[in-house]
Structure 1
Amino acid sequence: MDTTAHKTVLTGLKADHFRHPLDLNATTTLRQLPGLDVVVRTALGPVAEQVFYLDNISSSVLVSDRQLPHLHESLLEACKILDLDAPQLYIRQHPVPNAYTFAMRGKQPFIVIHTALIDLLNPAEIQAVIGHELGHLKCDHSVYLTLANLLTLAASQLPFAELLVPTFQTQIMEWVRCAEFTCDRAALLVVQDAKTIASLLMKLSGGSPSLSDQLNVEAFLDQARAYDVAVASETGEVIKQIRTQDLTHPLPVLRAREIDRWFNSPEYQTLLNRDVSQYNPRVSSKGGWRNW
């Protein structure tokens, strides 16, 4: 059954049609590091890919038209909207709500969603998670995501690594946070409802299966606006920088506020209401949020 009838299907969609300016700037900075892309793709990536593939196929459930078909249908719809080939989708038993993706160019990409996240969300929010992870694939984020994961592992397990990689790791983690803003936009393009994204982020912040139906999205967005006011001072800005510099994701209230702004922007409305093959996005260093 085709469930995209009530949604805009973005045939011809390109990554730069929705890439967040922060992601664009951070990616440009990383691409200036000589040989980084080649090292990850040729040396680190293939090994990591084989390890993750064997781990998934042996310890998770592969979604298909015969296995959890409602999730498979949700995946196919999201891929149709984003004009993207479908990756593999795995469901993994895990008590921590999380989802992640992995792919190297030309290889079989996959998405993993933890059961705890499935239990926390409604079907539209689960599709938003799928859309977010598809955003990483659409934007070819895989190289730097792989490097970020390996650096995090090295810093936690290898002797003296904390003395060798902190500056580089900081740069990579900043890029990861920027990339998340882009992928939230991909999620919005899939579900085409900003409140669904805000609800997802709210549940990740303070939700549980027993509380989910009692949470208020508008109150959470008001909370996000209150955070804007709280960090408007010079002291607040410093505290925000310290609070976020080691995180792998932007703060949930920032993500909710940002996606709400983009949903109401001319750029988003234009993207959904015209032929994307003719769409020329306005990419500017002045666009989006510049401060964490």
Structure 2
Amino acid sequence: MTAANKYALVGLRADSFQHPLDRNATRALRELPGLDFAIRNILGSVAEQFFYVTNIAASVRVSERQLPDIHKLLVEACRRLDLDLPQLYVQQHPVPNAYTFAMRGKQPFVVIHTSLLELLTPEEVQAVIAHELGHLKCEHGVYLTLVNLFVQAANLIPAWGELLSQPLKSQLLEWMRCAEFTCDRAALLAIQEPRVVMSVLMKLAGGSPTLAQRLNLDAFIEQARAYEAFGSTELGDALKIAHTQQLTHPVPVLRAREIERWARSREYDALLAPYRANYNNEAAGKWRNW
């Protein structure tokens, strides 16, 4: 499927692809009294200025004039997910990563590290961008602000971690891991090819610019299934929980397995069906006119 004939999902709603774990974890956070208000009204403006200064001072803003090929990937992904264009910055960094920030009513932005661009193909880069757009589509900004400040500012402000109680940290990390499943789905909806999304996850797990072209995606998918099977015992499940409970993201093999499963589901097929039918009808009309 080429870029030209991928479906633009006009009218796409976040709740149509939100992962059930994300839905439950978000509901649990919303039940914490005052958290939403505190983040939006107290931390929000500080966080916005913190990230803006970092981006404008030490990153390159992507545009039609600056890295236009990457800007085009952003525009296409936004069109497919029916989303307004955020700002996009490229930042020099040796750790492959990307992140986003948005408070409702404010200017959202996405940051992508240079090492990630060096690791991935253009279509895989677009999948990463679409994943970050998923946070914006689902309005994850309120809680994502706190997680990003916790992670990004921890090295600059060592006492930052002491401002959050351990139970709240754990709950936020749990929410973040669940939200990542939703955003992987957003990446799939934009790319509309599950192997591309899974390839990104494989390269994040064990890739480098020199190794990337030698990795075997089918072998990685088998590895993901083996990881899932490992959790079928009580001990295996306990070890998996212990391994992931302090992580901001689910482990790549689990994310790959979730994407493989959802791409084959009736839910995914039903979500794309109206757009597929509309595309086919338009194509048939053009053929008749010709």
Q: TM-score, normalised by structure 2?
A: 0.91
Greater helix fraction, Structure 1 or Structure 2:
2
One-letter amino acid of the counterpart of residue 74, structure 2: L
Q: Which residue of 1 aligns with 2:148?
A: 149
1:75-110 residue CA offsets vs partner (Å, 9 max, x unmatched): 000000000000000001111100000011111100
CA distance in 2, matches of 1:82, 1:216: 29
Equivalent residue runs for 1:126-165 within 5 Å: 126-152=125-151, 153=153, 157-158=158-159, 161=162, 165=165
**1:5 is paired with a residue of what secondary structure?**
helix
CA distance in 1, matches of 2:40, 2:9: 29
One-letter amino acid of the counterpart of residue 34, structure 2: G
Q: Does 1:27 align with 2:22?
A: no
* Runs of at least 4 residues off by over 2 Å: 149-156
**1:91 is paired with a residue of what secondary structure?**
strand
Q: Which residue of 2 aligns with 1:89?
A: 88
Q: Does 1:17 align with 2:16?
A: yes
Q: Does 1:168 align with 2:168?
A: yes
CA distance in 2, matches of 1:239, 1:48: 35
One-letter amino acid of the counterpart of residue 149, structure 1: N
Equivalent residue runs for 1:77-226 within 5 Å: 77-152=76-151, 153=153, 157-158=158-159, 161=162, 165-226=165-226
Q: Does 1:234 align with 2:231?
A: no
Report deviation, 1:146: 1.1
Residues 160/246 of structure 1: CA separation in 2 closer, same or farther (3 Å cut): closer
**CA contact under 8 A between 2:47 and 2:149: conserved in structure 1?**
no
CA distance in 2, matches of 1:57, 1:234: 49
One-letter amino acid of the counterpart of residue 208, structure 2: S
CA distance in 2, matches of 1:94, 1:199: 21
Q: Which residue of 1 aligns with 2:45?
A: 46
**1:95 is paired with a residue of what secondary structure?**
coil
**CA contact under 8 A between 1:18 and 1:185: conserved in structure 2?**
yes
**CA contact under 8 A between 1:151 and 1:165: conserved in structure 2?**
no
Report deviation, 1:274: 1.0
Report deviation, 1:150: 3.2
One-letter amino acid of the counterpart of residue 57, structure 1: I
CA distance in 1, matches of 2:144, 2:14: 16
Q: TM-score, normalised by structure 1?
A: 0.90
Report deviation, 1:149: 2.8
CA distance in 1, matches of 2:123, 2:75: 14
Report deviation, 1:151: 3.8
CA distance in 2, matches of 1:209, 1:200: 13
Residues 269/224 of structure 1: CA separation in 2 closer, same or farther (3 Å cut): same
CA distance in 2, matches of 1:96, 1:102: 19
**CA contact under 8 A between 2:225 and 2:257: conserved in structure 1?**
yes
Report deviation, 1:159: 8.3
Q: Does 1:257 align with 2:252?
A: no
**CA contact under 8 A between 2:150 and 2:161: conserved in structure 1?**
no
**2:274 is paired with a residue of what secondary structure?**
coil
Q: Which residue of 2 aligns with 1:286?
A: none
CA distance in 1, matches of 2:58, 2:90: 9
One-letter amino acid of the counterpart of residue 157, structure 1: P
Residues 254/159 of structure 1: CA separation in 2 closer, same or farther (3 Å cut): closer
**CA contact under 8 A between 1:170 and 1:245: conserved in structure 2?**
yes
CA distance in 2, matches of 1:4, 1:125: 13
1:255-280 residue CA offsets vs partner (Å, 9 max, x unmatched): 0000000000011111111159xxxx
Structure 2: gaps (5+ residues): 277-290
**1:169 is paired with a residue of what secondary structure?**
helix
One-letter amino acid of the counterpart of residue 238, structure 1: A
Report deviation, 1:5: 2.8
Residues 20/147 of structure 1: CA separation in 2 closer, same or farther (3 Å cut): same
**CA contact under 8 A between 1:154 and 1:161: conserved in structure 2?**
no
